[in-house]
Structure formats: structure tokens, C-alpha cells
Amino acid sequence: MNPAAPVRVMVVDDHTLFRRGLRALLAADERFTVVGEAGDATEAQKVALQCAPQVILLDNHLPGVNGVDALPALKAAAPGACILMLTVSEDERDLAAALRGGADGYLLKTSDSAELAEAIERALAGQSTVSAAMTGKLAAAFRSGAAGAAGAAGAAEPAAGTPGDALAELSPRERQILELIARGASNKEIARELSIAETTVKVHVQHILRKLNLSSRVQAAVVMASGRG
């Protein structure tokens, strides 16, 4: 893909005003172009076949077939597309079902434009993204067995040994930051909590992921949950 070409995005949501607003938001960013939209799962399949999106932003609460149940058909209609749930639901069961169903991420509609853009780019890079507010719930779902979470979130196993062994490789500061990630804190919130720069937090997160042989903070939260035993 030409790196200068805008990412082809499709929006699936039953609220017309929300679709229009999201379309306008994405149109303001030259990295993205909205190539199609739909108000329900059946229409979404038809539109996906026609417009070949690279990324589908999918609401869960749709009339008829909900978003999670529509995942297999959408993946068949647009086999090369990444699908990000974009929903109001903060229920960990919806999160778990979406990840089990093959969603490439789970975002809340309260996400800001920067978080949405980052999630789209991460999905295209093969990395899962979950809204910071939901990360702690993913870890809770993992501990309760509700998520089937490690596999559902695409979580890799640490390079060797048990999760506890891998966590032992982290510095005290990295462990502290990982604890906050597992509780759902964003980089900005971590920086405020620890009185350090947000750029410093980002560097620490990169080191944590490298040491744990992971690709996303979602995976790190799951490993942290399993390491607690």
C-alpha cells in the first residue's frame, strides 16, 4: 500500500447523526477517507463488498443482528479489513465477546479523535487496541475466565517461563507503570500519577512490551492479571 494513500474507512452505526459526525471528524484528517457507511449489519455486508474498506468502525447495538454477531459475515465480505468496535457499552461481557469474535479492537464512543486515529493505525499494524477505560475490565474478565482473554486479545505468551517470570524482568518503575496500565490508566493519567512526563511513560511502555515480548498494552494488562495469579 502506498504510505501516502489515505486509509479507507467504513462506518457502521444506526444513528445517522453519529455517522455524519464521525465522517466529518475523519474527513478532517488527511490520513483517512470514509468510503462507505451503513445503518445495520445486512446493509454493512453489501457496502463492504462494494467499497473494500481497510478499516470498519462497527457499533455493537445495531437493529436486527448486533455488531458482535455480524463480525463473521463482515470479515467474509471484506476479508482484508480490520474491524474496530466503536460503542457505548462498557460491559466486560461485550468486550470479551467482541475480542473472541475477532474484532481488532474495542473503543468507546467517548474516545477522542487522537485515540481513534491511533487505534486505526495500530489495527492496520496488526495490534489490538482497547480503550483505556476498558483495559482494567479486560484484565478482570481474564481473571474470572469470562474472556478467554489471552487468545481473544491476541496476547502472545512471554518469551519464556511463566508470566511471573517475565514480570520479574521489569524494573520497579516499569512494574509500577504496568500496574497502572492493568487498572486502565492512560499514558496521560500515568504521567500525572507518577509526576513524570508523558513522553517518559511512552518510553517505559515500549520497554515493558519489548521485555514481555508483547505488541500492545492490552496484552500487557492480560499478562499482568495472569502474573498476579
95 and 205 in a single domain? The answer is no
11 - beta bridge partners?
37, 57
User: Which H/E stretch holds residue 130?
Assistant: strand 129-130
pLDDT tens figures, 59-113 = 999 999 999 999 999 999 999 899 999 999 888 888 888 888 888 889 999 888 8
Which of 129, 162, 188 is the C-terminal boundary of a domain? 129
Rounded to two decimals, the pTM is 0.69
Looking at residue 163, which CATH number applies to its domain?
1.10.10.10
Cell numbers standing for residue 125: 499494524
35 and 146 in a single domain? The answer is no
Contact 225, 182 (CB under 8 A): yes
| Residue with cell string 445503518 | 39
Using the predicted structure, report yes or no on whether residue 129 has a pLDDT greater than 50: yes
pLDDT tens figures, 156-206 = 444 444 445 668 889 999 999 988 887 777 788 889 999 999 899 989 988
* Amino acid, res. 13: D
Using the predicted structure, report yes or no on whether residue 122 has a pLDDT greater than 90: no
37 and 115 in a single domain? The answer is yes
b/e for 198-207, b at 16 or more Cβ within 10 A? eeebeebbee
Cell numbers standing for residue 173: 518503575
